[in-house]
Chain A
Amino acid sequence: MSILAVAFAASAATAADPEKGKEIYGRCLACHALEYDRVGPRHCGLFGRRAGSVKGFAYSEAMRRSKIVWNEETLDRFLANPPKAVPGTAMTYAGVPDATERADLIAYLKQACK
């Protein structure tokens, strides 16, 4: 990763705004909720959770086998382009290309269930 990219990533992380992230989370509401499973799994308890592990939720085979553990870094990579990050995922969504928006969204997810 270039120095510029590292600096940009660091800047996005420090500027992360959960209030903006809450607005961005509106994009997720066709399929997700914080506290209960819908078309997609619940988001509460996400951090530190192994992908594909919410009991009773019917994940794609690809997600179950992904071996991802959700943290800021893995979420950032996944949210940038879900089908590219986990080919075969049922999350057929092009992603959130803007790094700052992803950082805001992740900041919101981190504090939303506290």
Chain B
Amino acid sequence: MSFLKIATPAQARRFFLARSGLVLSGAAVALLAGRDALAAKSGDKTSDTKILNTALAAELEAIAAYQVGAESGLLQKPVLDLAVTFQGHHKAHADVLAKTIQKLGGKAVAAKSKYTFPVEKLKSQADVLRFAAGLEQGAVSAYLGAVPLFGNRDLSKAAASILGDEAMHWAVLRQALGEAPVPSAFVS
């Protein structure tokens, strides 16, 4: 079933929520932001902070990108609801990443005052979905590439939790585009 073929918003909302999950898992939040022991355990805080800040910068850009999509006038309900839900996930990721960076003694990067997006290429709902899917695919790869670099294995686990969420976003967006939601057995 494609999102674009769902009959009613209520059906669509149930479909989205069942497949995407509403928030970052409680375990990941605890791992990232809620444990005082985290900072003490970190093997290489500077390096871990750098990884987290790169992830935070990407999350902040994703939040801005979904805002552009939501305000484009190109997204119709229920796809618009989907974009707002996913943006909420990215806000949750950014929030815990920033708190964790601070807990580790680092300075969290701030959102840019202006982002560049290929708005001239976004002419339809499908264009916006394809653009968002590309960002989510990239996010999956970025987290996958970060997981083995953390000195603190709890951070690796938490990053993997976010990776899972981004992968669900990517799959749902592909589904909405009428593409195979899960194109292969592995992500890379």
Contacts and interface: CB of A to CB of B under 8 A. Distances in A.
Given A30-B135, A30-B139, A94 B145 contact: yes
Interface string A64-87: 000000000000000000010000
Contacts, number: 68
A34 B138 CA distance: 14
B178 interface: no
Interface majority SS on A: helix, strand, loop or mixed? loop
A93 B147 CA distance: 9
Interface of A: 26-33, 36-39, 83, 88, 90-95
Contacts of A28: 138, 141
B73 interface: no
Contacts of B47: 92
A26 B146 contact: no
Contacts of A29: 134-135, 137-138, 141
B51 interface: yes
Given A26-B137, A39-B61, A31 B54 contact: yes
Interface of B: 47, 50-51, 53-55, 57-58, 61-62, 115-116, 118, 134-135, 137-142, 144-149, 188
B32 to A, nearest CB: 16
A30 B50 contact: no
Contacts of A39: 54, 57-58, 61
Contacts of B148: 94
Contacts of B116: 33, 36-38
A93 B150 CA distance: 10
A30 B146 contact: no
A95 B142 contact: no
A83 B51 CA distance: 10
23 contacts: A26-B138, A26-B141, A27-B142, A27-B188, A30-B62, A30-B139, A30-B141, A31-B57, A31-B58, A33-B116, A36-B118, A38-B115, A38-B116, A39-B54, A39-B61, A90-B54, A92-B50, A92-B55, A92-B145, A93-B145, A93-B146, A94-B145, A94-B149
Contact of A30 (B51, B53, B115, B142): B142
A66 to B, nearest CB: 16
